[in-house]
Structure 1
Amino acid sequence: MSPFATGFVGIALLFVLLILRTPVAFAMLAVGFGGYWFLEGMRSAGGVLLTESYSAVSSYSLIVVPMFVLLGNVSSAAGFSRGLYDAAFAWVGRFRGGLATASVLGCAVFAAVSGSSVATAVTVGKVALPEMKRLGYSDSLSTGAIAAGGTLGFLIPPSTGFVLYAILTEESIGRLFMAGVLPGLLLTGLFIAAIWIVTLLDPKAGPRGASVPLAERFRALTEAGPLLLVIIASIGGIYIGVFTPVEASAVGAALVIVLALVRRRLTWPAFKDAVVSTLSTSAMLYTIVIGANVLNPFLAITRIPAAIGEGLGALGLGAYGTLFVIILAYILLGMFMDGLSMLVITVPIVFPIITALGFDPIWFGVVAVIVIEMGMITPPVGLNVFVVRSVAEDVPLTTIFRGVFPFLIAMIVGLLLIIAFPGIALLLPNTMFG
């Protein structure tokens, strides 16, 4: 069997393993190691397994993963996430759909410390969903806002998606983090606009909350101050060049632990649970990186990425036509795969095509992450929908999927704007790094 045919068999086997619910890391390890063994022999395959595994886990840049995950876990354990939601509600709750808007704002801010869409959706959902139910919000709007808002954790830095993309493509984590800031704010604004339109068409879906006196609004903002301080110190430090992303992650984690201890918000059992959760999440992500690093050499010797690029080029669609086909493929895959799996499997294949077409790799990182975000709320998989369903057990899945539809439209609008105006993603990294 030729290397090219072996590559297609390997990719088909990879999808079969994923359908059988094999963890993506082990599916990639099995296909990458087995395929390399078949083509180059056991000795070469063993060498690839050892060298690629070591180079993956010894990467200095990967330290940002456990540090930012710890930051988010400690913030949640200390109750700082509740302060974010309360502050957002105090300022926007009096407007129609204000609780849903506060939820999206809470998701956006918590995303800046957690780096995880699932953690963001669960943390804010546990706080916001009972309040929205109490005030008579429709189930579709309340759950849809949380599911969509949670996806911001995959885009707004620190983002595990950007870290993995950077490792896979050897791009700068710092540039990718900065590239996600303005698109993240844009999507946040579009989500709020979607809430406004939904409540304009159906005022009963999101009734107004009670007006909060100005003094109480500032008091609520003060309660959210510690976490906002951590965000400004870590992300702002990256932008002005005081910290590298790795240093910023360590500073942020240390700051949030100190603040939690000073305010007596962190018990030993809660801290231990946060550390254990961090170790579990980090081990999973490290294993995924190892699997991707073992799979990539197999794909390289099969020339699958090059063949796909040549095939797309032969269609004569042009740069943006080819980009549209790639995005459409991402959307279709997103209906059946979770975001991290899709990212690590597809980036080694499509990245050479994107760079050959002359697109900026940092810009494409933002585009890819947004499309993967869309997959998090589209049926039938829609990971964030199932996460919200675990918090709102009495709400049918069909209701949640119906609720995310306006936000899915908002994401499409945001994606088109970023494609039409690449500067939205590239302004900050170009300004910062020159």
Structure 2
Amino acid sequence: MSGAFIGLMGFAGLFGLMAMGVPVGLALLVAGIAGTIAMTGWSAAAYTLSGQAFATASYYELSVLPLFILMGNLASASGLSRDLYEVAHRWIGHLRGGLAGATVLGCAGFAALSGSSIASAVTMGRVAYPNMRRFGYGERLSTGTIAAGGTLGILIPPSTGFVLYATLTEQSIGRLFIAGILPGLMLTGLFLVAIAVIVTLRPAEGPATPPSGWAERWRATRRAAGITTIVLLTIGGIYGGIFTPVEAAGVGAGFAFLMLVLRRRMTGAVISHVIRDTLRTTGMCFLILIGASVFAPFIALSGLPAVVAGRFDALPLGPTGTLMLIILAYAVLGMVIEGLSLMVITLPIVYPLVLGLGYDPIWFGVIMVIVLEMGLISPPVGVNCFVVSTIARDVRLETVFAGVIPFWLAMIVAVLLLIAFPQIATLLPDTMFNAAH
């Protein structure tokens, strides 16, 4: 059997294990070990398993994962997420569709604390959905806004998606974080435009609400100062070269813990929940990374990436056409495979091809994350839509999927703008004080 055929069989085995419900990290591990045994024998497979597992678990830069996850959990426990929604609500809630806009802005702000799309959707959904329904907002707009807004969690730094991408491609975590800022703000703006279009076409979906007084607005703004401080310390510190990403994560987690103490919310039950959730999420991420570190060398050894690259080169598409085909493939696959899992599975094949086409790997990382975001709200998997349906139990799942369509179109616009103007993603990383971070 040829190496490329063994590589294809490895992918077939991987998808078969996933179809049987085996966790992605474990499926990657089994497929990678089995493929390496088929290619080079037991000794090389054992060496790969032990060496890659230890190297991944002891990789210093990956300390950002548990620290940023801890920061997000502490921020949520201290009530900072509610503050984010409240300040946006007070300032723009009185506008037509304003509560939906406040939800998007709240999700964007919480994304700068959590790095998780599901956490953003759950946290902001519990705060925003009852409020929107209380003021007569339509089911589609209410649920679609929460599901789509939650996707900002893996684009606006700190982002779990960027950490995984950086680790798998040996790129700078700090540069990827900074690269996500302007695209994240752009996509937030496009979501607000989508809301404006919806309420213009269907005014009953987002009725105007009574305005807040200036005293209430400034009170909410002052209360949200803790969030602003955390974002400036972490993301601003990385951009200015003051902190490495690991140091910024530690400072952010420390400040979030301080907020928990100052707000008198630190109890044994809260700390226990925060620690358990942090350990659970960190363990899942590291299992995926260890599995990927075993599966990726097997795929490289099989020669499958070179075969795929040769087939793409033979197509009369050119670099742009090939890129569009890759994006289309990710959009389709994202409908049936969870986003971060799809990234880990496909990067061993796609990344060498993208480099061969001459594209900036940092820029492509941003493109990939946005396309994976689309999968989070695409049927039939649409993880965020299922999450929102558990919050809005009175709304049918079909209604949630219908509500995200305008936001899905906004994501397509964002991808096209990034292709047309790559500087949106590359400008800030290229002007970082210390690119080594």
Q: TM-score, normalised by structure 1?
A: 0.99
In the alignment, the residues of structure 1 paired with residue 359 and residue 294 of structure 2 have an alpha-carbon distance, to the nearest angstrom, of 27
1:226 Cα offset (Å): 0.9
In the alignment, the residues of structure 2 paired with residue 220 and residue 265 of structure 1 have an alpha-carbon distance, to the nearest angstrom, of 19
Equivalent position SS for 1:136: coil
Matched with 2:115 is: 115
1:232 Cα offset (Å): 1.1
Matched with 1:421 is: 421
Residue by residue over 1:55-100, the C-alpha shift from the partner in whole angstroms, topping out at 9 and shown as x without a partner, is 1111111111110111111111111111111111001101000111
Matched with 1:234 is: 234
The question of 1:202 aligning with 2:202 is answered yes
Q: Which moved more, 1:204-213 or 1:16-25?
A: 16-25
Equivalent position SS for 1:258: helix
In the alignment, the residues of structure 2 paired with residue 285 and residue 12 of structure 1 have an alpha-carbon distance, to the nearest angstrom, of 23
In the alignment, the residues of structure 2 paired with residue 266 and residue 95 of structure 1 have an alpha-carbon distance, to the nearest angstrom, of 36
Matched with 2:400 is: 400
Residue by residue over 1:312-340, the C-alpha shift from the partner in whole angstroms, topping out at 9 and shown as x without a partner, is 00112110011011001101110100011
Matched with 1:44 is: 44
Corresponding letter in the other structure for 1:248: A
* Identical-residue share of aligned pairs (%): 53
Contact 2:122 2:388 (C-alpha < 8 Å) held by counterparts: yes
1:268 Cα offset (Å): 2.3
Matched with 1:174 is: 174
Which structure 2 residues correspond to residues 102-141 of structure 1 after superposition, within 5 A? 102-141=102-141
Which structure 2 residues correspond to residues 31-430 of structure 1 after superposition, within 5 A? 31-430=31-430
Residue by residue over 1:140-172, the C-alpha shift from the partner in whole angstroms, topping out at 9 and shown as x without a partner, is 100000000000001000000000000000000
In the alignment, the residues of structure 2 paired with residue 249 and residue 320 of structure 1 have an alpha-carbon distance, to the nearest angstrom, of 37
Equivalent position SS for 1:394: coil
Q: Which runs of 5+ in 1 are unaligned?
A: none
Corresponding letter in the other structure for 1:223: R
Contact 2:29 2:295 (C-alpha < 8 Å) held by counterparts: yes
Matched with 2:27 is: 27
In the alignment, the residues of structure 1 paired with residue 78 and residue 263 of structure 2 have an alpha-carbon distance, to the nearest angstrom, of 9
1:16 Cα offset (Å): 1.6
Contact 2:78 2:259 (C-alpha < 8 Å) held by counterparts: no
Matched with 1:8 is: 8
In the alignment, the residues of structure 1 paired with residue 63 and residue 14 of structure 2 have an alpha-carbon distance, to the nearest angstrom, of 28
Residue by residue over 1:104-146, the C-alpha shift from the partner in whole angstroms, topping out at 9 and shown as x without a partner, is 0000000001000000000000000011111111111000000
Contact 2:148 2:407 (C-alpha < 8 Å) held by counterparts: yes
In the alignment, the residues of structure 2 paired with residue 37 and residue 318 of structure 1 have an alpha-carbon distance, to the nearest angstrom, of 37
The alignment yields a C-alpha RMSD, in angstroms, of 0.8
1:394 Cα offset (Å): 1.6
- Greater than 3 Å deviation, 4+ residue runs: none
Residue by residue over 1:27-77, the C-alpha shift from the partner in whole angstroms, topping out at 9 and shown as x without a partner, is 100100011011111111000000011111111111111101111111111
In the alignment, the residues of structure 1 paired with residue 263 and residue 380 of structure 2 have an alpha-carbon distance, to the nearest angstrom, of 43
Contact 2:143 2:403 (C-alpha < 8 Å) held by counterparts: yes
Corresponding letter in the other structure for 2:30: A
Equivalent position SS for 1:158: coil
In the alignment, the residues of structure 2 paired with residue 298 and residue 20 of structure 1 have an alpha-carbon distance, to the nearest angstrom, of 22
Q: TM-score, normalised by structure 2?
A: 0.98
Q: Which runs of 5+ in 2 are unaligned?
A: none
1:21 Cα offset (Å): 2.0
Contact 2:77 2:260 (C-alpha < 8 Å) held by counterparts: no
Q: Which moved more, 1:194-203 or 1:227-236?
A: 227-236
1:265 Cα offset (Å): 2.6
1:260 Cα offset (Å): 1.6
In the alignment, the residues of structure 1 paired with residue 397 and residue 341 of structure 2 have an alpha-carbon distance, to the nearest angstrom, of 23
Corresponding letter in the other structure for 1:2: S
In the alignment, the residues of structure 2 paired with residue 263 and residue 345 of structure 1 have an alpha-carbon distance, to the nearest angstrom, of 42
In the alignment, the residues of structure 2 paired with residue 63 and residue 114 of structure 1 have an alpha-carbon distance, to the nearest angstrom, of 15
Corresponding letter in the other structure for 1:335: M
Q: Which moved more, 1:120-129 or 1:267-276?
A: 267-276
In the alignment, the residues of structure 2 paired with residue 377 and residue 402 of structure 1 have an alpha-carbon distance, to the nearest angstrom, of 10
Contact 2:129 2:142 (C-alpha < 8 Å) held by counterparts: yes
In the alignment, the residues of structure 1 paired with residue 148 and residue 188 of structure 2 have an alpha-carbon distance, to the nearest angstrom, of 10
Equivalent position SS for 1:39: helix
Equivalent position SS for 1:94: coil
In the alignment, the residues of structure 1 paired with residue 106 and residue 401 of structure 2 have an alpha-carbon distance, to the nearest angstrom, of 21
In the alignment, the residues of structure 2 paired with residue 348 and residue 221 of structure 1 have an alpha-carbon distance, to the nearest angstrom, of 45
1:101 Cα offset (Å): 0.4
In the alignment, the residues of structure 2 paired with residue 66 and residue 365 of structure 1 have an alpha-carbon distance, to the nearest angstrom, of 21
Contact 2:117 2:151 (C-alpha < 8 Å) held by counterparts: yes
In the alignment, the residues of structure 1 paired with residue 36 and residue 191 of structure 2 have an alpha-carbon distance, to the nearest angstrom, of 45
In the alignment, the residues of structure 2 paired with residue 237 and residue 430 of structure 1 have an alpha-carbon distance, to the nearest angstrom, of 16
Corresponding letter in the other structure for 2:392: A
